[in-house]
Amino acid sequence: DSATFIYKKPKASFKQFKASHNTMRLITHNMLCSNVKGAATGYPLQILPERVETQESEFSAEFIRNMLPKLEYSAFVGAARDIGITDLPPTVELDDETLADEAFLMKVHHALLDVHVLDGGLQCPETGRVFPVKDGIPNMLLHEDEV
């Protein structure tokens, strides 16, 4: 005897998000690097923006305070400049005064989380290789000769 099983596809139970919820932000960019053969560090990648969107998100000072020590701050500021954000200090000391400065934390939050790179490219500083960003997704795949 053989049993027959009929598979019923479950109804979709996930929410549909706007593309901007799943797009590249500076928090993601800060962790990306080029792995092209010949690149020592491949970091930081220069953003070549073509389409950028700003969408406000809920501000959490605590989250930003926890993220700041993990960021490569100079790369973050450079990336922010690439997309037109120029109100961040070029350097910062993470002392109690800075971490209590809510205006500064809000500027970091805005640049880190509210600005989405939808289309453009990410350029390796060492090789010049440009990785495309399409619909907010960076394509970091290498060609055969780059591995």
Express each pLDDT in 129-142 by its tens digit. 999 999 999 999 99
Q: What is the pLDDT of residue 147?
A: 86
| 11 falls within a domain | no
| 86 falls within a domain | yes
**Residue 73 to residue 81: CA distance in whole angstroms:** 12
Q: What is the pLDDT of residue 22?
A: 74
The predicted-structure confidence for 43-73, as pLDDT tens digits, reads as follows 999 999 999 999 999 999 999 999 999 999 9
Instruction: Please give the structure tokens belonging to residue 52.
Output: 């950028």
Q: What is the pLDDT of residue 82?
A: 98
| 97 falls within a domain | yes
Q: What is the pLDDT of residue 6?
A: 57
Instruction: State the pTM of this model.
Output: 0.83
| 55 falls within a domain | yes
| 57 falls within a domain | yes
| 80 falls within a domain | yes
**Residue 86 to residue 53: CA distance in whole angstroms:** 16
Any idea what the CATH number is for the domain that residue 123 is in? Answer: 2.20.25.10
Q: Are 80 and 130 in contact (CB under 8 A)?
A: no
| 109 falls within a domain | yes
| 5 falls within a domain | no
Total of domains in the chain: 1
Q: What is the pLDDT of residue 21?
A: 57
Percent of the chain with pLDDT over 90: 80
Contacts 24+ apart (CB under 8 A), 13-18: 18/55
What is the span of the domain harbouring residue 109? Answer: 19-142
The predicted-structure confidence for 106-123, as pLDDT tens digits, reads as follows 999 999 999 999 999 999
